Amino acid sequence: MGTVERAGDATSEVESGEEEEIVGGGELAQHLMKSGITRNEMLAAITSRLHAEAMASLPPNVRRRVRALRSLQKEFVDIEAKFYSEVHALECKYEKLYKPLFEKRAQVVNGLYEPTDEECLNPWRDENEDEELARAVQSAAITEGEKKEGEETKAVESPPMNPNVKGIPDFWYTIFKNVSMLCEMMQEHDEPILKCLQDIKVHMHEDPIGFTLEFHFLPNDYFTNTVLTKEYSMKCKPDDENPLEFEGPEIYSCKGCEINWKKGKNVTVKTIKKKQKHKSRGSVRTVTKSVQADSFFNFFSPPAMPEDPNSTLASDIQALLTADFEIGHYIRERVVSRAVLLYTGEGLDDDDDDDYEEEEEEEEECSTEESEDEEPPPRRRGKKPNKSSAAENPAECKQQ
């Protein structure tokens, strides 16, 4: 998932190859590994030691001045925290101004309001859009002609007006398909449910600061809820022990909601069968077991941190929560506010396509190294992992 508002540490900028080299050798690394320290803690300890060694190499009078600069930096951080607190207060204020616009958008999407001719005018787009549509129709005609070799290419016309179509069908589902961060979470069995998604809303909280995401659904065959919620708690205060690491508001916890699944319709659970052999009698029995299945709707059941924050399990869960925070922040910042641009593709990031092209080139290079005697297996493009919470990924994903 899930995926963040800066949940990394000071070592996140270290290249992976350098991390392996650091962890792989040195007395400190070996000692930490034997002590059962987690990888993140190990890297933090090594980085701290490297910083200490760098400071130790400076003359005492220079070290003294560096400490003075740290004190100035702390004063800067205190002022910066006030700045971000005021920014959040502004966001809460402007949420009230955005609200009627988003409500009208929901009415248009769901066929509850038919916009007037005047409301449909896009002076900055209308002239170019007709040309773009004409080129798209021509391109579709050429593609159709290539598919049917030997047949005469027929012009592809835009579909006729359909008075039975209300609103914008599959609006939010299409956004999920277009944005790879969301597409990666969505499984084939999630699709019929997400086609019932009517709206996504954001509610900002002033004190304590945070926000809640609301997913509004039509009545469906899967659960009885009409609204699913995900609440995120944020903090905008420097840490007492490491104040200079402050970089603005950050999400520190989240809370999902209970989904009231109808009988046999829970897509987050799957049943598996396992054979067990009796130790003494040798008889075999088949046992059915319910396990978690991949699903977008796991988003509403985030894991809880274990009591021991330094355990390996806690480190793994923190990674899941980091991804979860990233997704929640992204939905609030980009998906809700730029929905129509993600639906049409205008608001998607072109860098995502560049990444996929590089991936294809790498795969092709690898395929040339295969033995000529062996026929290489057909390549299937996999889903690309997330890079950051601020990037939309337009590549269309195939369900696996």
Each residue's pLDDT tens digit, 222-246: 999 999 999 999 988 898 888 988 8
Task: Provide the pLDDT for residue 356.
Answer: 46
Q: Is the pLDDT of residue 79 over 60?
A: yes
Q: Is the pLDDT of residue 36 over 50?
A: yes
Residues 6+ apart with CB under 8 A from 3: 181, 320, 322, 323, 324, 325, 326, 327, 386, 389
Q: Is the pLDDT of residue 135 over 90?
A: no
Output 365 or 167, whichever has higher pLDDT. Answer: 167
Output 197 or 148, whichever has higher pLDDT. Answer: 197
Q: Is the pLDDT of residue 269 over 60?
A: yes
Cβ–Cβ under 8 Å, residues 230 and 213: yes
Each residue's pLDDT tens digit, 178-201: 999 999 999 999 999 999 999 999
Task: Provide the pLDDT for residue 94.
Answer: 95
Closest CA to 225 of 265, 179, 171, 166: 265
Banded pLDDT at 365 (limits 50, 70, 90): very low
Each residue's pLDDT tens digit, 285-300: 888 888 899 999 999 9
Rounded average pLDDT over 38-64? 79
The pTM for the full model equals 0.70
Cβ–Cβ under 8 Å, residues 42 and 33: yes
The kind and range of the H/E element at 210 are strand 210-217
> Where are the strands (E) in 219-337, listed by range?
227-235, 250-255, 269-277, 284-292
Task: Provide the pLDDT for residue 163.
Answer: 84
Instruction: Measure the CA–CA gap between 356 and 388, rounded to whole angstroms.
Output: 16
Instruction: Measure the CA–CA gap between 302 and 288, rounded to whole angstroms.
Output: 25
